[in-house]
Structure 1
Amino acid sequence: MRSIQVRTASHSYPVHIGAGIFAKLPDVLAETGLSPSKILLVTDTEVERLHGEKIKAVLDTAAPWCQYTAESGEQAKSFESFFNVQSYALKEKLDRKSLILAAGGGVVGDLAGFCAATYMRGIPFIQIPTTLLAHDSAVGGKTAINHPEGKNMIGAFYQPEAVLFDTDFLETLPQKELRSGLSEVIKHALIKDEEMLYSLLDNVSSPEEISPDMLEELIEKGISIKAAIVSEDEKEQGIRSFLNFGHTLGHALEKIAGYGFYTHGDAVACGMAFALWLSERTLAKQLGAKKIVSWFKRMGYPVTIPENFASGDLLDAMEKDKKAESGSIHMILLSGIGSPVKHPFKRRELEKLLNEWRLEGQL
């Protein structure tokens, strides 16, 4: 088992990583001083199908519990789902000593975390990530639901009491979901760990080649990078924005395509391909972008935008993103591998550059 302590201004908590550690939930509750009057398990239909019996067996040893199961997919991060979870919690008479347990991928974690942040003005919750992608979203306290105008627009910064990352859950992941999660690992390497990035480039040519031991090490490195940033900037007033590398265009792609068309990781990978090109084009820095993006392509990530997605529509979405400030679109760029910077662009300038990149990618 690997353990990391996340320390923020508002709260500190452990992240435990390893095979079979979900069974230690009762011990973690005791270690963190939690004795919940009731546990509300929030999960989705796919996690229930694959892991429901295992999760329930552990809960039976922990506390009285009840379960809300959302539909799988990005559509669960909606006002309707948020209302339904809150209504179910009230029906089950959860109180301020109750606990919400988020067992699922990033969608479940964001939804359940936001419900925990707002139920009776805030009750404890624990993250149980079941996807590789959720190694990123489960840590740091960002919780949210989507709005038709943009992804994650309604939410709160609210830290969990603990994160239990049981790597046994990853054994059932489809390859496209493993690839999606690996995208956030690659992001962490690009913004903070050059050695980690080139180890991936030199040794991995497809997600299938990653061994369980290597995967656990990558998860630990990725979470450690994020934990260090979050500990310094919990509410994204400064360096935490570096974690948005690739996300400004990535979120726009998800919105324009319709949530669920792209996996989050695939959309972010395309956003990172643009951000790497834009870094070299704008900052006049040599990052080896062509080599990195060629590797993205071999790994199966999209590195171009479909022709029927209008650049103007993408810019509309980027302007409405949380990362837009004072009439400018702020992109996270790299002045070197491991050296992120925030760079503002006016809409007309960025649209011109986006069109230039799209033209180059189609040659």
Structure 2
Amino acid sequence: MHSADRALAAVERALHLQLPRGLFLPGGLGPFDETVDPEALLEPAAGAVRGGELLPDALPFARGADGAVLALRFGPGGRPREAIAWHPGGAWHPTDLAPGLASEPARLRRACEAALESGLAVLAGESGAASLAQDLGVARETFSDWLLDARLVPAAARAALRRLTGAGDVALFAQDWSAAASAARAALAARPDLAWPGAVLGWHEEGRGRAADAARAYAGALGAFGGTLAFAGRLARPGESAARVISAAWQRATGGRAAPDPALRAALAGPGPLRAHLLAESDRARAEGRHAAAWDLALRAGWQRHVAVDMDDVLGRMLDAAEAAGHAAHAELARLHLRAWVGSGR
């Protein structure tokens, strides 16, 4: 048995996991061109497992030059659930880069993004959004709205862009909002834990004057993992938190009425109140013997609006809940991530 095989077998025994050997072959996958050394996975000091940052049901198997990683998320029985791409700062999304792990959410995300990519967005990527906004004499905030929804570009700016580029309206401003909304609805039905579908649908319904539908969609985005906003993060202004912008959008769609349930009220209040609410709900679930639910609520407490402070408290709750539920894989993963967090000295 080769050393890599021995190391992977040791990881499987220690963490009660099933690891697809093909994911750890040299060369990585696509832009994630460095395979994670299996021997580093059980050594917190090696830095392969970014405890308190990477989702705590996940292990990395490849990384890119920018510090981003491909990681496997595991179910409570230790079988791979999905592959994700995770980026420093907390953004992540399901991916189908891992052979043998198809991802319908990844396909739908690409379809939605492609439907909304206007020629203006391509031009902004090539020329720089700030520079182009300055050339047009508009605020970056206004231009950010145009990149998300080209229907907002006024006639005078359209004429200026036609003169600047020599392109017509279709080439510059065409978007397929119907296709984007269809992809977002399918993704939301399959994965309500992802934030981008609700954000896209909320904006779409708000633009159609359907305030109640928009509010429901924005509420869904607020109840999902904020790190999964993906391209829908363009809803935010430069330097602003996208989650805060979606909170404001919900308030706008509802006319400022009070949120109907405690979880939404906590999400609207910000990361601190949301974490406190979810940890209290996790503790209540543990007290009632609902240990799997307690684990899930603790996961959400740490990562629904991720702030990398006091993660030992969150990970400790996840460890205790998983052990009480008899979910050895989740327990050992939480223990490993906790050791990595404590070892980082934060």
- The normalised TM-score by structure 2 is 0.26
Would you tell me which structure has more strand in proportion to its own residues? Answer: 1
Greater CA radius of gyration, 1 or 2?
2
Would you tell me which structure has more helix in proportion to its own residues? Answer: 2
